[in-house]
Amino acid sequence: MTHPTPDAARDNAQPVIRLQSVQKSFALPSGEVFDAVQSLSLDIQQGDVFGLIGKSGAGKSTLLRLINLLERPDAGKVFVGGRDLTTLSRRELRDTRQNIGMIFQQFNLLQNATVFGNVAFPLKIHGHHSKAEIDARVRECLALVGLAEKIDTYPAQLSGGQKQRVAIARALASRPQVLLCDEPTSALDSETTRSLLETLRDINQKIGVTIVIVTHELSVVEVLCRNVAILEKGRLVEQFAVEDAPKAERKTALGREIDELVRRRERESRELRELREAGNGVATLRVAPDLNAQEPAHV
Ligand SMILES: Nc1ncnc2c1ncn2[C@@H]1O[C@H](COP(=O)(O)OP(=O)(O)O)[C@@H](O)[C@H]1O
Ligand SMILES: [Mg+2]
């Protein structure tokens, strides 16, 4: 038997999330049927930070909820970690969901539990962990989000950014491969948003968890995401790598806006670099004559 080459191994690598022709409709009170997600296929690779964007009502949240089967598709398959979630029993699904953490715009913390209680909650209900294991894991997760010192605090005493950090720690407690984020910064101011995005990027780099983030804020995509998919009326209309943005033409207005943001950032960092270099030159020119002037003319 021959060993696969690294290239072959990569080609054979399964994506951590694979949606195959998923479909989700809702019956409206009027009796009409509304197609929220229409025959949509999507692969997301292990370790990616993947943005789902689109206008309000485009089907982003529905699509995200299909990934952990909070919404069951009317048709199609949902693979996470190689398992088709649509074929699992309730019990198997409950176990498999430990592999998929989720955070929301409104944090959804337990108000009557401390930070410790919130992060420990998913470990306690799944029951396979000793008290010491839970304690260690909670502390580990709180350290990851920079909230170790808030362990005995109640949610009401925390800022919005801190609440979302607790929610992230809770979502990571069971060591999931995938973290789903539905508009996680929409309730936060821009300063807090920036720091939370840095934390998410840091977590992705440190523990390699795959992040799927729904957002309507293009700056979130530009700062955080490696890949992005654009949804319109329940369909995936465009998908690209954010770092490729300046090189390619886009089909959608949102795609072009992301391009423009990436171009602007590149321009700004180039200008900053040039300014810095020019600044150094000026400093050298200024310093040099002064030094010369201090030298005694006759030496
Ligand atoms: N449970 C539901 N019942 C009826 N309609 C729904 C339900 N969930 C979502 N929808 C409809 O599906 C469409 C897509 O919703 P959603 O996925 O929340 O969009 P987005 O997150 O992009 O704003 C919306 O028009 C919404 O009203
Ligand atoms: Mg939504």
Work out how many domains the chain is built from and give that number: 1
* Residue 281: domain span: 9-112+178-293
Contact 211/49 with Cβ under 8 angstroms? yes
Predicted local distance difference test score (pLDDT) of residue 81: 94
Structural domain includes residue 156: no
Minimal-distance CA residue to ligand 1 atom 18 = 61
Whether 150 is in a domain gets the answer no
The closest alpha carbon to 175, from 68, 118, 99, belongs to 99
Do the domain assignments include residue 249? yes
Assess if residue 21 is contained within a domain.
Answer: yes
83 and 89 in contact (C-beta within 8 Å)? Answer: no
Structural domain includes residue 238 = yes
Residue 131, in any domain of the structure = no
Helix, coil or strand: residue 47: coil
* 61 touches ligand 1 (CB under 6 Å): yes
CATH of the domain at 20: 3.40.50.300
**195 has pLDDT over 90:** yes
**Model confidence pLDDT, tens digit, residues 248-283:** 789 999 999 999 998 898 899 899 999 888 887 655
**Cα of 56 from ligand 2 centre, angstroms:** 7
Tokens 């949804």 locate to 231
Asked whether residue 128 is assigned to any structural domain, the reply reads no
Predicted confidence (pLDDT) per residue in 120-161, tens digit? 999 998 878 999 999 999 999 999 999 999 999 999 999 999
Is 161 domain-assigned? no
User: In sequence order, what DSSP letters do the residues of 224-241 get, joined into one string?
Assistant: H-SEEEEEETTEEEEEEE
Predicted TM-score (pTM) of this structure = 0.88
- Look at the block and give the residue holding tokens 């692969």: 43
Average model confidence (pLDDT) across the chain? 89
Q: Using the 8-state DSSP alphabet, how is residue 58 labeled?
A: S
Mean local confidence (pLDDT), 10-14: 59
